[in-house]
Amino acid sequence: MDNPTNQFDVVIVGAGPAGLCAGMYAGRGMLKAVVLERGVPGGELLNTELIEDYIGFESILGRDLAEKMAEHAKKFGAEIRQETVEAIEKMADGTFEVRTSKETIYRAPTVIITAGGTPNKLGVPGEQEYAGRGVSYCAVCDGAFFKGETIVVVGGGDAAVEEADYLTRYAEKVYLIHRRDELRASKLLQERLLANPKAEVIWNKVVKEIKGGPQGMTEVMLEDTVTKEHSALPATGCFIFIGFTPNSGLIKSHFDHDPSGYIITDDRMMTSIPGLFAAGDLRVQLTRQITTAVGDATTAAIAVEKYLKEAVEVG
């Protein structure tokens, strides 16, 4: 017999800004909603030191904004549970089953997936070997371990440039390694980094290998993308910010997506699977910011409310 405590109007997968916002709006809509998150609510906010581009807050710590969002969602009745979702599947009767690593099954007529993505790996020798011993994918999490040291940051987008600048508060020297001769990051972030005396950009280079010893990594091997020459750069830390792979693989039924696996939705945030909605970083869109994540989530949660109401009227 099904556990009635695991029956909901909507299951929200992920508790980053999109998931928490969806939970808040679902609660306001008097829907029975649960937000499932494998860790502490907040998502990528917890990996960001300072937020300066969220309207209404000129400057706020990522963890503080995460806490405010979680409390707001709970105030309107959203329930947040710490569970690792492993699969989302639509059943023959039209309802969804959301299965977790605890072998718990949540059932609902609708699901909003806001599971974000997983950091991309370089895929070079030494990366896995020195993970946690020099190699990192989170500046806020690990930056303090590199006080007074020389580290490299790999990437050229907003995340790489912003985190490289952040890491200069700990490291003696930060090298940003980029495969091209210009950065993709916003001009403001670029100007801030280039003006930082502790930071230096190394152009037209890619990391080919990460080397080290028993105590951890000691250098990165570089290849020039123009001349193909190889060189060694001594460093005790390597922070990698080269994008994310969307966690859309949780969906076990066929759905429309782009070549990278990002989910295609309509203007209501509904996927090609009726009743399954997507919001935030794992959805196809031009930019991935906190503001776009909560905008997606607002639309998705209100669309769920209307979808459920229409289903009742038809039934």
Mean pLDDT, rounded, for 26-39: 96
The mean pLDDT of 167-183, rounded to a whole number, is 97
Q: Which two tokens stand for residue 99?
A: 């299965």
Q: Mind telling me the catalytic residues?
A: 138, 141-142
In 137-267 the beta strands, taken as DSSP E runs, fall at: 150-154, 173-177, 199-202, 205-213, 216-224, 230-234, 237-240, 244-246
- Would the pLDDT of 2 be above 60? no
Section 173-182 average pLDDT: 97
Specify the pLDDT at position 151.
Answer: 98
Stretch 70-79: mean pLDDT, rounded? 95
The region of weakest confidence among 44-58, 163-177, 215-229 is: 44-58
245: nearest Cα among 117, 155, 87 = 117
- With cut-offs at 50, 70 and 90, classify the pLDDT of residue 287: confident
Question: Average of pLDDT values for 95-108?
Answer: 96
- For the segment 155-161, the average pLDDT, to the nearest whole number, is 94
* Chain segment 42-66, per-residue pLDDT in tens: 998 988 888 888 999 999 999 999 9
Helix ranges, the chain (H): 17-28, 62-75, 139-142, 158-167, 187-194, 290-314
**For residue 220, with 0-12 CB atoms within 10 Å meaning exposed, 13-18 middle and 19 or more buried, which class applies?**
buried
Q: What is the pLDDT of residue 311?
A: 84
* Residue 240, pLDDT above cutoff 90: yes
Is the confidence at residue 184, as pLDDT, over 50? Answer: yes
From the list 229, 217, 190, 215, the residue with the least C-alpha distance to 122 is 217
Question: How confident is the model at residue 57, as a pLDDT?
Answer: 93
pLDDT, mean of residues 165-182: 97
Q: Which DSSP string corresponds to 168-182?
A: TTT-SEEEEE-SSSS
pLDDT higher than 60, residue 277: yes
Confidence at residue 166, expressed as pLDDT on a 0 to 100 scale: 95
The CA distance from 73 to 77, in Å, is: 7
* Side chain identity, residue 17: P
DSSP label of 262: P
* 42, 51, 168, 250, 290 from 56: Cα distances, Å: 18, 11, 27, 34, 12
Does this chain's domain 4-118+244-314 share its CATH topology with 135-240?
Answer: yes
Residue linked to tokens 């050229």: 156
Tokens 């409390």 — which residue?
71
Distance, in Å, from the CA atom of 310 to the CA atom of 171, rounded to the nearest integer, reads 57
Which residues, listed in sequence order, are joined to residue 159 by a DSSP beta bridge?
Answer: none
**What is the arithmetic mean of pLDDT over 237-264?**
95
Would you list the domain boundaries of the chain?
4-118+244-314, 135-240
Mean pLDDT across 247-252: 95
Q: Does pLDDT of 315 surpass 80?
A: no
Rounded to 10 deg, the angle between the 158-167 and 187-194 helix axes is: 30
What distances in angstroms separate CA 210 from CA 82, 119, 122, 242, one per listed residue?
35, 18, 10, 16
Q: What pLDDT band is residue 1 in, cutting at 50, 70 and 90?
A: very low
The rounded percent of the chain whose pLDDT value lies above 90 is 89
Reported confidence tier of residue 4, pLDDT bands at 50, 70, 90: low
Report whether pLDDT(211) > 50: yes
What architecture (CATH level 2) is domain 135-240? 3-Layer(bba) Sandwich (3.50)
Joined tokens for residue 291: 């503001």
Alpha-carbon distance 66 to 48, whole Å?
A: 10
Cβ 281 vs Cβ 117: under 8 Å: yes
Query: Domain 4-118+244-314: what homologous superfamily?
Result: FAD/NAD(P)-binding domain (3.50.50.60)
Tell me the two tokens of residue 266. 């309509």
Residues 156 and 178 sit within 8 Å (Cβ to Cβ):
yes
Nearest-angstrom CA–CA distance, 79 and 76: 9
